Structure 1
Amino acid sequence: MSWSIEIDANTCIGSGMCAGVAPDHFELVEGYSTALQDRTEPSDDVVDAAESCPVEAILVKDVETGKVVAPEE
């Protein structure tokens, strides 16, 4: 199983919560969030980062099914 990580650059406010929660998966570049990889193995840290984003700019999906993993609706 693999997850995709998408960041909506127009929504991101650069709070840094994602990089603080999951530094192995996210970093801030020029003040905005960037995923270190477009795909990742399932990880609680990735879910926590998406859930902690104050503007829900991070979308995590199951690559096979397309189902949204985080944030929860």
Structure 2
Amino acid sequence: MTQLLNHFIPRVVIAGLKGGCGKTILTLGLIAFYRQKGLNIVPFKKGPDYIDAGWLSCAAGRPCYNL
């Protein structure tokens, strides 16, 4: 367990003041960009909207986890 705590995992948080301000679109673009650079991306989503989680999963090529 301590080995995991010593390993730095980069993170990015995208937040907005309201719905419909472009958080998911921005996140999809960032996921696509970083995947093209060869990084493994694990998306997370907060909220009841499972459609966005489906898009994020598709872009990342792996499951999107709902917080």
Q: TM-score, normalised by structure 1?
A: 0.31
Q: TM-score, normalised by structure 2?
A: 0.32
More strand by share: 1
Q: Rg: which structure is higher?
A: 2
More helix by share: 2
Higher relative contact order (CA 8 A, sep 6+): 1
